Chains A and B, each alone.
Chain A
Amino acid sequence: MNAAALPLPTRKDEGYRYADLAALETVWPAAVQVVRVPAGKSAALSLIADGNGPEAREIAITLEDGAVFDLRLLNAGAAYGRIGVTVTLGKGADFTLGAAQLGGGAQTLEVVTEVTHAEPDAQSRQIVRSVLGGHATGTYLGRVAVARGAIGTDAEQSVRAMLLDRTATANARPELEIFADDVKCAHGCAVGELDAQGLFYLQSRGLPPADAKKLMLQAFIAEAFVGAADEDALTQAALKALEGLL
């Protein structure tokens, strides 16, 4: 079956449960970017999605034995933005994902990952931070699959969302599917609002409310970009998107 013949997903497809299907249809099927990191090599990719129209991307990553890959995503397009990531890790491979989603208005943003630890001793870390205002919806669906025999796996998912308005929605579903013993899999997930005490503290020192919020949110999303090769470019782009939200 060629790509063009792929049927449009429906709500029943788990990975598309929260998608903006009408917007998805306009860009369907998503172009697939294939990444293969050879054994023992390192590579990195940063993707800044902050365009005006709907966007859907798929990144299919294969890490051979001992390969290292560092992926950073800023998902802040003005309309629908979907980034799908599938990763297969070889023996001793190392995968890092740092993603920030910033949305307001009626935006729908989603990062959907499927990380497969196919062989022993591989590591994966996923850090996803979402800031959502207005009627925006931000979703993270992340499945970590540990194959039979993939002992020594170390997988971690840290998912946090900050809602600026009560009308915004965050969906977070970290998922583990483990078929091996002796593995370490951790996931944490939290949805909250900016700490009112912290905001008052910053304001009492002279920061206007919008600047105080920006400072706190900047720190919140920085966790997704810390240590990236182009941390500055990502941070600047995120800051610009953040200013649009406040």
Chain B
Amino acid sequence: MLQIDNLSNEIAGKAILKGLSLTVNAGEIHAIMGPNGAGKSTLAYTLGGRPGYEVTGGSVAFEGADLLAMEPHERAAAGLFLGFQYPVEIPGVSNVQFLREALNAQRKGRGEAPLSGGEFLKLAKEKAGLLRMDMDMLKRPVNVGFSGGEKKRAEMVQMGILDPRLAILDETDSGLDIDALRICGEGINAIMRKPDKAVLLITHYQRLLDYVKPDFVHVLAGGRIVKSGGPELALELEQHGYEAVAA
């Protein structure tokens, strides 16, 4: 599904990713762990197409297409979802309006018919229920006045509604209390744990992986994957730290 080959990039002239390679197949959940400043969020933003993240080498194929040649909204229509570490507040724009427009723009991009207001609300209600989020919150402006935990749950509701093939979740577990962590974990499983979908889970801690069991764990350090393994690698990291394990 996703093939990252020797990817390098820079932000404002500073090299961050330095020849990163990673393959993610349908039905797999990959966790990416690594110390601060390793390039984890940069990887997420680069795959999402954020302006300013300039690719200087390598390639990324998503479902066989050249991901790096696509605009951010085209990547979304192709089935990629980026869960933000810090979801952005958009004053005055309601979640419901924004998500309906976004979903219908994606559907248009794929040559599908738009959802009516009624059909959309039914879908939104179902996905909000999955994340135990009140529909009233979805009528409020995007992320404005939401707590850290609410923002992350709202991200997962968005993911449920948009129904991507590949989710790249950047520290979805940061800022979550124990209950919200479990709810988000269960939400990720319900939405994404399917044979035709895949997840790239970026995290610092083992605790999210207790709920969302990864098939593969990678250590990202100095802009490259320095070690890969099974779920046991995350436990090893938790016990011994990055320096000992990745050395």
Contact = CB atoms under 8 A, between A and B. Distances in A.
Interface stretch (B4-12, B58-66, B70-78): B70-78
Interface in A180-238: 195-198, 200-209, 211-212, 215-216, 218-220, 222-223
Contact of A205 (B51, B71, B109, B158): B158
B46 interface: no
Interface in B112-166: 141, 158, 162
Nearest to B50: A200
B72 A219 contact: no
The main secondary structure of chain A at its interface with chain B is helix
Nearest to B97: A215
Contacts of B87: 201
B183 interface: no
Interface residues of A, number: 23
Contacts, number: 79
Interface string B79-95: 00010100111111100
Contact of B102 (A195, A206, A218, A223): A206
Contacts of A200: 48, 50-51, 72, 88
Interface of A: 195-198, 200-209, 211-212, 215-216, 218-220, 222-223
29 contacts: A198-B90, A200-B72, A201-B87, A202-B98, A203-B76, A204-B48, A204-B50, A204-B72, A204-B73, A204-B75, A204-B82, A204-B84, A205-B76, A205-B98, A205-B99, A205-B102, A205-B158, A206-B102, A206-B105, A206-B109, A207-B73, A207-B101, A207-B105, A209-B73, A215-B97, A215-B98, A215-B101, A216-B93, A223-B92
